[in-house]
Structure 1
Amino acid sequence: MTTAMLLENIHQSATAPLQGAGISVDRRTGALAGDELRQVLAAHDLVGIRSATHLRAADIASAPQLLSIGCFCIGTSQVDLEAAAAAGIPVFNAPFSNTRSVAELVIAEAVMLLRRIPEKSALAHAGKWAKGASGAFEARGKTIAIVGYGNIGSQVGVLAEAMGMQVVYFDVLARLSLGSARACATLEEAVGQADVVTLHVPATPRTRNLVDARVLAACKPGAILINASRGTVVDIAALAAALREKRLGGAAIDVFPEEPKTNSEPFVSELQGLPNVLLTPHVGGSTEEAQENIGTEVAAKLVHFLTTGGTIGAVNFPEVDPGPLQAPARLLNVHSNAPGALAALNTLLAQDGANITGQHLQTRGATGYVVTDLDRVPSAGLMEALRAHAGFVRSRLLTR
């Protein structure tokens, strides 16, 4: 029986689709690392993680039977995607399911910070009455700069515009604007005119410390910075300095360069104790609605791959959608993207006497993936020959 391990308290909505496909599901509430993680990987065909479990090349190499990885979140930077692809393992995520949750939090934080609610709330908790309008502003009429105008960033823009804010954005890709949003040619141009700057970019070498002392210096005096994307995007020390020097009016940070692996570990940040700063424990997408949607979406992708070989939505793999299995057998072959790979596969099939009724091939980078429907179940000898072939990464057989 195919087995799956779901880590980090993945929503229960993921369980039913997997079990409905005949997959045995085990669950753990926390993240894993080291030998404990590798033991789990070695004992399961599928693994589901969120953001705290990191799958490195050595972890992936320790589990040669692992078929697929499900990231029950938006980001996939916690997985070595190249190593997974090289091992023939597609990685699936949920790029849209928590979009609304993150966007709503960003807008709420913008309003809270413009009104200086964090420090007023802290004073009230301390027994001090700080009634007054000084330094508190409406969102209406203010400019918000969205850095990264993808699924979440564009939705933030729609919500912000509905509140009467002016929307500008910067993205390294050409993006069609929604509503009256206006694109900026540079990051500095965007942040220089904004009362609120919000970040929605992935974690890549290019975005590491994207917002550093230089960019913070280019911000409008008194501006507010919100980061609900990835912790490595902001230079935290530079941000803390800008806040202490009152060059910025406030900040809301939901993600950090280093985060506790579990809720029982302590959290430390240079931003703690600063006024008009909201610190949240990576909860941008943590609503019941988002987690339920994510569980359903990623589980469906894993089931689709397991039952049909389809890889639509894989973030690291050639995307093939062969449809439901109608033929007696379907061969899934991952190979090095090199000349002659398909010819070698088809020659072996011909030698085994198997007739091809349908074939789908796609390549991505160094990886090739071909799905072949056959008029009969191939012999055990053919499967051994496929698995022994130097140019093939892995071969899996589906039968009706």
Structure 2
Amino acid sequence: MTSALTTTPATARRSRLRGLDGLRFLAAAVVVGYHYTGIDRDYWGRPPSAVFPTLNHVTRYGYLGVELFFVISGFVILMTAWGRPLPGFVASRVARLYPAYWVAVGLTVLLQLVWAGGRQLGWFDNAMNLTMVQEGFGIDSVQGAFWTLWVELKFYLLAALVLLVGFTPRRVLAFAILWPVLSQTFRLAGWTFLENLFIAEFAPYFGVGMLLFLIHREGGTLLRWLGVAVTGLLCVEQTVRHAPLATRGVGVEISPVACAVVVVAMIASVWLVADGPLRHLDWRWLSVVGALTYPLYLVHGQFGFAVIDTLHGRLGAYAVVALAVGLSLGIAVGLHYLVERRWHDRLRDGVLRLLGG
């Protein structure tokens, strides 16, 4: 999700894609809504479906915001990597991912010292979290939402392998279609290692995003749109198959039909802001909120849960949610302006020197 969350602020080249920044923030907002009012956690003292009997009918589907992030990531990773040498690609990703992440990990560890309801990890697990690859070693993340970062890192690795050969329209088309199809073959065959390595559960979302960028850059052809149809159908199949698991997570029924409709709508939304009627959106504030998406995603979980756990029953439920959102947004603003903007260029240049780029 993080390429969707962490793209460089809009340049002149992509100023007409400010709508993509807004879409990214919308995805983060629905994930926040899901975590605060949708998923069944103990922090409210009773199920969120009882605390928010009306709102929960919508926010219970907010986990699909992660899938939207992955579609956007597929689109954005090509936009940031096309025509760039591998060292430049690696340096740009490291510089965008790690500064805010390191500080978020540190702040979360400090929170765990004063809030008993947080994830109480040992010093080694906390230290391993600084690598961002802890999930690959079976180590818990300090914040639950960090699992998506491991998924994104594996996507970056696959994209880097294609970049080594060189991005061309034909290669991208082949990769974006064959990768999701092959990953599903591994899943059906029960080859767990390859299924995990090729990110079978989420490959279709990345693939359809890559195809939408290819159409954005090179134009639509029958084969490219057929690729969108194939990967889109795989996305629908994935979300329908996942619905029973999501039902257990939220404690109330998740409709497979509603999931399918949402997935189709979110794929369409990326096309709408890239090449459709909304492609000319050029409101600067969209890029401003888009820049806050990644830091908000990093901190909203444990910090928002701490507010809910501490204040529920003392204030009205919606007031508690507002305070949780306000705290998370406040920390996100600090991370962006005090960390990301100050350290991005320095870290990027340092990595480039290290790689000889």
**TM > 0.5:** no
Between Structure 1 and Structure 2, whose CA radius of gyration is higher? 1
TM-score (norm 2): 0.23
Richer in helix (by share): 2
- Give the structure with the higher percent strand: 1
Name the TM-score, length of structure 1 as normaliser.
0.21
